Amino acid sequence: MKREISIKLKTQILVDFLNKRTLTQKETEELGFIKEAKEFRTMTLASIIKRPECNIKTVLKFIDKDYNKNVLENAETYIKYEGYISRYLNEIKDIEKYENKDRQKRKWDNDYEKMV
């Protein structure tokens, strides 16, 4: 159990780092993103991982060697799919909101029927 928490915590720390760490123009060129480097676009490590042709191995040289394979894979999965996950969680919230309104309406209908 303690190891599981440690992996989750390390994954979150790594994801935060990948989202915040921006590349210099030279680093961007080294990774093969010449067009972006010439246009002086700011790129984070996470923005590179999100690309279909890239993965965590693409940016591995910018990451501490302290992370094990599970943490690296979890971070990559989270970054690549965070948009989908976020939309899915928002849909769940919307459904719950609708169900709560429906429950309130049914409760009110029941109360009204008791009064009549």
Residue 74's pLDDT band (cuts 50, 70, 90):
very high
29-38 confidence digits (pLDDT tens): 888 887 777 7
Q: Hey, how many other C-beta atoms are within 10 angstroms of the C-beta on 9?
A: 11
Return the minimum-mean-pLDDT range out of 5-9, 44-48, 73-77, 102-106: 102-106
Most confident of 1-5, 80-84, 97-101: 80-84
Residue 21 contacts residue 45 (beta carbons within 8 Å): yes
3-state secondary structure 31-95: CCCHHHHHCCCCCEHHHHHCCCCCCHHHHHHHCCCCCCHHHHHHHHHHHHHHHHHHHHHHHHHHH
Amino acid 4: pLDDT:
60
59-72 confidence digits (pLDDT tens): 998 998 788 999 99
